[in-house]
Amino acid sequence: MIANRGEIALRINRACQELGVKTVAIFSEADRESLHVRQADEAFCVGPGPVQRSYLNIPNIISTALVTGCDAIHPGYGFMAENARFASICADHGIVFIGPKPEVIAAMGDKATAKRVMKEAGVATTPGTDILASVDEARKAAHKIGYPVLIKATAGGGGKGMRVVEKPEDLERSFKGASSEAEASFKDGRVYMEKLIRDPRHIEVQVLADEFGNVVHLGERDCSVQKPSHQKLIEEAPAPRLSDKARKNLHDMAIKACKHVKYSNAGTLEFLADGDNVYFMEMNTRIQVEHPVTEMVYSVDLVKEQIRIASGEKLGYTQADLALRGHAIECRINAEDASNNFAPQAGTLSKVVFPGGPGIRVDTHVYSGAQVPPYYDSMIAKIVSFGATREAAIARMERALRETVIEGVHTTIDECLVILATPEFRAGDYNIGFLPRLLDTQAAEAALASTAVTAGA
């Protein structure tokens, strides 16, 4: 059973069809006309549009699996993918959860625990603390680490319960602010501290591990093109301008970490890179949105591997069997207004034409006439380009984005084209501060242009 919607539901369905595995889709009333509903062998409505009542409705999801006789549930990403409780409920009902064991999901889902476990494994983590009991303790820690520091909620995510502290005077206010925000958002006010690394790169390592302790990595992805909200927009594999030493260090740490936590299935370790220094940030215990760039350069089907591993098969290959070839880039096409803070758009897609040709892959669930409901993530497609070199992959991506037509909502296509054309992106010389700075420049230029028009009138 596929416990998800949108492009990832189609992606999982495709892997199942190719493996000869029958599928059951779940859908909300808002997704009745969705492609994943049509392409699966069976489809069950699990609730109305809002996610709490449909894609997060555990009783209806489990009941669907039981009445249709499903052996396994693939959670995709988001929704149930990193919900340890859901993974244990599946196990209680004799359903295989396609992912790691519930206790591993739980450990990695708690950021402070994950960091502690990684430290034990000998993985470099950003200088920082465990859970802080008091403001006094925080003050001492900050003095030792050195300002600026970051106070983060252990249950956190999406920037909630996070504060940057530049100087000692601000510490108490930020500590209390982060803690109460975390309490309000996650019912868990515990916070910890990390050294703030200014404008790092976000580099992550893909891993695959079977249930017999065999672990391989599938290289890294650079995901530093992020919106001001820290959501990724463009990803590429391999990471450009990374020294061989730093790259090897990343891969080795990822393998060490997985062996230490007895990881199984597909996973991603996210690191912050500051020059050649890399620090573990968090581990995602699921398939990721940007997995296709890795699939392109390693000629591997990660979703099929997830299913094989979950059904108890051995990896059947070693690190030496895996070779990276070429370069891949992914652009996320979101129904968002880039000129208005990436405000999500909902509505009918009056016309949709996707690109094709050599080296282009499109993962999408939308079509001409499809609805973009207001309830869900605004991503409507992923365009992936492959080339023998990074330059070739960029040229193909630009060509593909220009071929793409999406009418009815604003999209991120134009913004992606602007990014690809910048000297920074061309040179592979960018970090997570790059896109926010570019947007500021664009906004300033737009303001200047409108002033010029007024002056000329």
Partner 1 sequence: MSDLQSAPDGIAARVRRLVESFVETDLIRVRIERNGDRIELGRPALRVDHNEVAEAVALAAEAAPARNVESIKSDLVGIFRLSRPAPLEGDLLEGDRELAYVEALGIRNPVRSRGAGRIAAILCKDGDAVDYGRPLFELDRG
Site residues (vs partner 1, CB under 8 A): 29, 44-48, 54, 59-60, 62-64, 66-68
If phi > 0 it is left, if psi is from -120 to 50 it is alpha, else beta; for residue 443 that is alpha
Shorter beta-carbon distance to partner 1: residue 96 or 392: 96
For residue 179, how many other CB atoms are within 10 A of its CB?
21
Q: What is the 3-state secondary structure (H, E, C) of the chain?
A: CECCCHHHHHHHHHHHHHHCCCCEEEEEHHHCCCHHHHHCCEEEEEECCCHHHCCCCHHHHHHHHHHHCCCEEECCCCCCCCCHHHHHHHHHCCCEECCCCHHHHHHHHCHHHHHHHHHHCCCCECCECCCCCCHHHHHHHHHHHCCCEEEEEEEEECCEEEEEECCHHHHHHHHHHHHHHHHHHHCCCCEEEEECCCCCEEEEEEEEECCCCCEEEEEEEEEEEECCCCCEEEEEECCCCCCHHHHHHHHHHHHHHHHHCCCCEEEEEEEEEECCEEEEEEEECCCCCCHHHHHHHHCCCHHHHHHHHHCCCCCCCCHHHCCCCCEEEEEEEECEEHHHCCEECCEECCEEECCCCCCEEEEECCCCCCEECCCCCCEEEEEEEEECCHHHHHHHHHHHHHHCEEECCCCCHHHHHHHHHCHHHHHCCCCCCHHHHHHHHHHHHHHHHHHHHHHHC
State the Cα–Cα distance between residues 301 and 361, nearest whole angstrom: 13
Shorter beta-carbon distance to partner 1: residue 344 or 373: 373
Residue 67 beta carbon to partner 1: minimum distance, rounded to whole angstroms: 4
Is 426 in the active site?
A: no
Residue 31 beta carbon to partner 1: minimum distance, rounded to whole angstroms: 12
Shorter beta-carbon distance to partner 1: residue 46 or 112: 46
Residue 88 beta carbon to partner 1: minimum distance, rounded to whole angstroms: 15
Residue 28 beta carbon to partner 1: minimum distance, rounded to whole angstroms: 9
Residue 43 beta carbon to partner 1: minimum distance, rounded to whole angstroms: 8
Shorter beta-carbon distance to partner 1: residue 49 or 344: 49
Shorter beta-carbon distance to partner 1: residue 45 or 135: 45
Shorter beta-carbon distance to partner 1: residue 66 or 388: 66
Residue 63 beta carbon to partner 1: minimum distance, rounded to whole angstroms: 4
Shorter beta-carbon distance to partner 1: residue 37 or 419: 37
State the Cα–Cα distance between residues 261 and 367, nearest whole angstrom: 42
Instruction: Name the catalytic one among 286, 332, 361, 396.
Output: 286
Residue 69 beta carbon to partner 1: minimum distance, rounded to whole angstroms: 9
Shorter beta-carbon distance to partner 1: residue 80 or 153: 80
Residue 371 beta carbon to partner 1: minimum distance, rounded to whole angstroms: 17
CA angle 177, 181, 185 (to 5 degrees): 175
The residues that are catalytic are 286
